[in-house]
Amino acid sequence: MPLTEKITQHVSILREQINHHNIQYYTFDNPEIPDSDYDKLLRELQSYEEKYPELVALDSPTQRVGAKPLKAFGEITHVVPMLSLGNAMNEDEFNDFDRKVKELTDENVMQYAAEPKLDGLAVSLRYEHGVLITAATRGDGKVGEDITQNARTINTIPLRLLGDDVPPVLEVRGEVFMPLSGFEKLNKDVLSNGGKAFANPRNAAAGSLRQLDPKITSSRPLEMICYGVGVVEGVDLPETYSETINWLKTLGLKVSPERMVLNGSDACIEYYNKIAVKRDRLPYEIDGIVYKVNKLSLQNRLGFVSRAPRWAIAHKFPAQEVMTVLLSVEFQVGRTGAITPVARLEPVEVAGVIVSNATLHNMDEINRLGVREGDTVVIRRAGDVIPQVVSVVESKRPKKTKKISLPKKCPVCQSDLIKPEGQTVVRCTGGLYCEAQRKEAIKHFASRKAMNIDGLGDKIVDQLVDEKLIGDPSDLYKLKTEQLIELERMGEKSAENLVAAIEKSKKTQLQKLIYALGIREVGEATSLALTNNLGSIDNLMNADKESLVTIPDVGPIVAENIHYFFRQTHNQIVIQSLLNAGITWPEPEVIHEESPVNGLTFVVTGTLSTLSRNDVKSRLQMLGAKVSGSVSKKTDYLVAGEKAGSKLKKAKDLDVKVLNEKELIELIGI
C-alpha cells in the first residue's frame, strides 16, 4: 500500500497520543489508560514505521532505544555555564547566606524557592521547537559529555514537549537519579549474575547514564527531575523561579513534588526540618535542601562568585553515622613526615558509600576516644570528607581488645620519631631519606601550583622512586627519554613529552619554587610574602627567625619551620642541585616601605582594556598590597573596569575609593 496523506496524519496522531500517555504516566504519575491499551497503540505505531521508514521521526516514542553503541562520548559546550552550589553545613551558615543576600538586595525578608537536593548527576537538555535535540552532563561546568542517545532512553525525559506554544530553544537543567526501589532491584540482579554491586544510587545512576551502549542505559531504572533552565529563546520567562518551574511542568517535564515557596529564613529552617524527618521515607536519596532566591530580577542583581551563584545555596543534612568494628590500626607517613593513624574497619555503608578506612587523626585523639583494636566504634562521613571515628561503643567492647600504641620508629624508613613541644602531630625525622616522604615531596614539587610539570602523575612518581631513578626533586632534571621508556605504560612519545615538560618547568617564579620545596605550613600566600620581602633564595636561606617573623603571613611557628628546613644539609644540597640544573626565575621586586600601596587592600572587577586582571593582581601583590575577591569596609580601593557590576555599587555604598585603569597605572607606575 502506498503512503498516503491519511496514513501520515494517522501516524502523527498515534505519536501524539503515545507521547501524551508517556508524560501522564512517567511525569505526572497519572495513567489514563490500561497498560494493555497503551501497548496496542505502541505496536500499531511500530507496524506503520516498519512499513513506511520515511515516517520515523526524531521524537517518535519508538526511538527511545535502538541507536548503535557509541565508541566514545563527544563533548557539548554549555552556552550558559552549569554552576555548582555553595554549601551551608549548619543553620548558622544558612542564616549568614540569608543575611548576605538581604544586604546585597536591600530586602528585609527574602522569598526563597526550596526543594530537596537530589543525589544524582546534573544534566542539561536542549529542546528546539519542542523536540529533544541534545543532552549533556555538567562536566566541568563549561563543557560536558554528549549523552543524548542515553538520555533519550529515560522515560521521564520527554522526546517532545507538550503543547503547541513551545519556545524555539529551551535548555532544561535537572538531576538524573535512580530511585531506591530501582537501585535495590538492580543490585540484586547484578549480584545474581556474578557482578559487583553498586555502592550507592548515585554511582549507579552515573554509571548507567555513561554507558556507551544506550540499550544498557534503557534497562536501568533512571529518572530525571528538572530544577532550572539555561538558554531560553523566543519566550519571556515568568518573574520568579517557582513560576518558571511550574511552567516547565506544563510542558511535560517532571519537577520536584516537594518544592515550596518560603518567606524568610525561619520558614526555610522549618521546611528543612520537615524534609529531614521525611527523608528516609522519600523514594530517592537526597543530601540536603536547595534554596534559591525566588525573584529572577534579584537573582540577576546578585550574580555569581567564582563557580557558584550568590542567589542559591545547598543546606546540607548532618553527617550520617553508623557503627562498625575497628579491626586494626596502621600508621601512615605523609609528605611532611606526619604520622597518621588510620583505622581499618569492617566494611560498612555510610551516607551511601562503603567505608573500610577512617582517620583517627593522631595519638591524642586515640587517647581521648579510648579506642582499641576490636572495639565497636561510631564513624561519621560528612559529604566527601574522609570518614572519621567519633566515639567508642564501650557496652559492645569484647573481652579481648588490643591497646593502640605509637610505633617507636618510622613504619617506612625506621628513622626516629619526634613530637615538637606544644604540638599534637608526631613526625618522622627521615626527610627525603624516608621513601614515603620522598614520593609525596616529589608529587608536591611537580604539582600545578608548584613547578607545574605536566604529565608527571602520581603513578609515574611512584615508579621512578621504586626503580631508584630519582631520590629527590632535583633528580627529575637528570631524567632521559630512554630511562622513561622503560617505565610501565610509558611510550616513546609520552616519554619525550614528559622530558620536555620537565625542561619547560625550569623557567618559573621564585614564589612557585619556594612553594614547591614543601616547607611545612608554607603555602602559596606565604611563599609570595617571602618572595616580596626577601627577593632571593639566598636571602631566604640565610634569614634568621627574628627577621622571618616580621614578614606578613609568617608567625613564630612558620618562622621556626622555615629556619629548620634551610638548616638541614640535605635540603641545602637539593636546592643547590636544582639551581645547578638550570632553574631560573625573573628577579622579583622587593617591597619597600615607600610603596604607595604597601599594606592596602584592593578589589579588582570588570574588564580592563590594556591589562589583564591577573597582571594587576600580581603587580599589586608584588608591591605589598592585598587583593581580595569581595568589597567590604576594609577595602581601600576598588579597581573598576567595564561592566563592573555589583561590586562597584557596593563600593560606592561603603564610600570605598574607586580607581579606573588609568588612575591605577598612575598610582603603581605600571
Answer for the pair 566, 540: CB distance below 8 angstroms, yes or no: yes
pLDDT, tens digit, 9 for 90 and up, residues 65-111: 555 556 678 889 999 888 888 888 889 999 999 999 999 999 999 99
* 35 has pLDDT over 70: no
Average pLDDT in the 457-474 region?
Answer: 91
* Run of H or E residues at 5: helix 5-22
Task: Say yes or no: do domains 431-504 and 510-580 share a fold.
Answer: yes
Assign 623 a pLDDT band (cuts: 50, 70, 90): confident
Burial class (CB in 10 A: 0-12, 13-18, 19+), 466: exposed
Candidates 576, 594, 470, 589; CA nearest to 533 is: 589
Answer for the pair 640, 650: CB distance below 8 angstroms, yes or no: no
Answer for the pair 549, 556: CB distance below 8 angstroms, yes or no: yes
pLDDT, tens digit, 9 for 90 and up, residues 584-600: 998 766 555 667 888 78
CATH of 86-316, one of 3.60.20.10, 3.30.470.30, 3.90.226.10, 1.10.1240.10: 3.30.470.30
* Run of H or E residues at 233: strand 223-233
CA 18 to chain centre: 40
pLDDT, tens digit, 9 for 90 and up, residues 98-130: 999 999 999 999 999 999 999 889 999 999 999
Q: Tally the C-alpha atoms within 13 A of residue 546's C-alpha that lie toward its C-beta.
A: 0
Average pLDDT in the 365-370 region?
Answer: 87
**CATH number belonging to domain 321-403:** 2.40.50.140
Assign 152 a pLDDT band (cuts: 50, 70, 90): very high
Beginning with the edge strand found earlier in the chain, give each strand of the sheet holding 637-640 in spatial order: 626-628, 601-605, 637-640, 657-659
Candidates 351, 336, 423; CA nearest to 386 is: 351
Query: For residues 130 and 168, what is the distance between their CA atoms, to the nearest angstrom?
Result: 7
Candidates 590, 596, 541; CA nearest to 568 is: 541
* Least confident residue range of 120-124, 137-141, 231-235: 137-141
| Domain boundaries, given as residue ranges, for the chain | 5-63, 86-316, 321-403, 431-504, 510-580, 601-668
Answer for the pair 64, 152: CB distance below 8 angstroms, yes or no: yes
Assign 64 a pLDDT band (cuts: 50, 70, 90): low
Higher pLDDT, 50 or 331: 331
Average pLDDT in the 5-22 region?
Answer: 85
User: Residue 576: what are its φ and ψ, rounded to 5°?
Assistant: -65, -40
Query: For residues 377 and 343, what is the distance between their CA atoms, to the nearest angstrom?
Result: 10
pLDDT, tens digit, 9 for 90 and up, residues 309-330: 999 999 988 766 788 999 999 9
Catalytic residues: 117
Assign 167 a pLDDT band (cuts: 50, 70, 90): very high
Candidates 144, 146, 122, 117; CA nearest to 132 is: 146
Fold (CATH) for 431-504: DNA polymerase; domain 1 (1.10.150)
Fold (CATH) for 601-668: Rossmann fold (3.40.50)
Query: For residues 65 and 43, what is the distance between their CA atoms, to the nearest angstrom?
Result: 15
**CATH number belonging to domain 5-63:** 1.10.287.610
- Only one residue has cell 583505622, namely 343
Assign 418 a pLDDT band (cuts: 50, 70, 90): confident
Query: For residues 625 and 599, what is the distance between their CA atoms, to the nearest angstrom?
Result: 5
Q: State the CB neighbour count (10 A cutoff) for residue 538.
A: 9
- Only one residue has cell 618559573, namely 508
Answer for the pair 337, 416: CB distance below 8 angstroms, yes or no: no
Residues in the chain: 670
Tell me the DSSP string of 481-528.
HHHHHTSTT--HHHHHHHHHHHHHTTB--HHHHHHHTT-TT--HHHHH
* Run of H or E residues at 339: strand 339-350
Label the pairing between strands 312-316 and 86-88: parallel
Answer for the pair 254, 27: CB distance below 8 angstroms, yes or no: yes
Write down the mean pLDDT value for the chain.
Answer: 87
As a whole number of Å, the end-to-end CA separation of the chain is 81
**CATH number belonging to domain 510-580:** 1.10.150.20
* 561 has pLDDT over 90: no
Candidates 163, 132, 318, 309; CA nearest to 226 is: 132
Helix (H/G/I), strand (E/B), else coil: 270: helix
Query: For residues 353 and 351, what is the distance between their CA atoms, to the nearest angstrom?
Result: 6
User: Residue 119: what are its φ and ψ, rounded to 5°?
Assistant: -100, 85
